[in-house]
Amino acid sequence: MTTSITLKKQTYKVDLSKPLDISIPMRGNKNNVNAWYLAPPRIEPHIEGNFTGSVEQGSSTNFNDIYFNPHAHGTHTECLGHITREVHSVNKVLDHYFFTATLITLAPEKVGADFVISKKQLERALDGGSPEALVIRTIPNTKEKLSKQYSNTNPPYITEDGMLFLVEIGIMHLLVDLPSVDKEKDEGALLAHKAFWGINRTLRPTATITEFIFVPHHIKDGDYFLNLQLAPFENDASPSRPVLFALL
């Protein structure tokens, strides 16, 4: 189904019948993607007295409890409240859910013991573009990302000057296939997060960061229409489902 969508006085044609889901599903077992030294998420029948919420175990319904951390256990979108004393809920950040987006693929550069996404790489890949949302796919890009255990692996991250460049060109929604935009162990510096949300500069309370996406190889670099779907949690972060649509 082809439709026309107008954003900021510009009209785009989009085929809504061909969604490109770039989220990672959550599973209640050890094969679920994981970070930050947490145990796997749990999805299990609720038990109360003689009741067990499982049809297989004799109940009339499946009635599961789910235990997870949005930052550690899958695709999630977070807001300024992730790093501030003041409470900011990601559920109140967005008042619309469609954005122009650009997908780029980068090979993080080795700097000392780290691999980083630098300002120079971002400048080259964007080549003067300034979409509302930026989707970054890193390589290597294997299906291991769907179940990788990231704790104590020092994953790639974005440099502070790289993030300041994204702010400068007006990126409001950043999506990455990493567990964090910051270094795993940085003693709480959080340089990339703070740069993106304008800590000690001009705060950007409507900006979001989405981590733990997965962009399959068949989705080509270029411009897209992004539908950023969030579960309505009143929290600094929420499980999310970003979906891309090709522009016609």
pLDDT digits (tens, 9 = 90+) for 211-241: 999 999 999 999 999 999 999 999 999 999 9
With tokens 């050890």, the residue in question is: 30
Q: Which amino acid is at 92?
A: K
Give the model's pLDDT for residue 14.
87
Mean pLDDT, all residues of the chain: 96
pLDDT of residue 113: 95
DSSP 62: -
Instruction: Say how many CA atoms lie within 13 Å of 179 toward its Cβ.
Output: 24
> Domain 2-26+71-246 in CATH: superfamily?
Putative cyclase (3.50.30.50)
- Find residue 99's DSSP bridge partners: 226
**DSSP conformation class of 90:** G
What is the phi/psi pair of residue 124, to 5°? -65, -45
116-149: pLDDT as tens digits: 999 999 999 999 999 999 999 999 999 999 999 9
The angle subtended at Cα 210 by Cα 196 and Cα 168, nearest 5°, is 25
User: What's the Cα-to-Cα distance from 242 to each of 25, 204, 211, 229, 247, rounded to whole Å?
Assistant: 12, 21, 10, 6, 16
pTM above 0.85, yes or no: yes
| Omega cis (within 30) before 216 | no
Tell me which residues of the chain have a pLDDT lower than 70: 1, 8
- Strands 173-176, 208-211: pairing kind: parallel
Report which residue type is found at 200.
Answer: N
Q: What is the pLDDT of residue 2?
A: 75
Q: What is the pLDDT of residue 90?
A: 98
Alpha-carbon torsion, ordered 29, 241, 108, 41, to 10 deg = -20
Q: In which element (H, E) is residue 235 found?
A: none
* Secondary structure class of 145 (helix, strand, coil): helix
Separation between Cα atoms, residue 175 and residue 167, nearest integer Å: 14
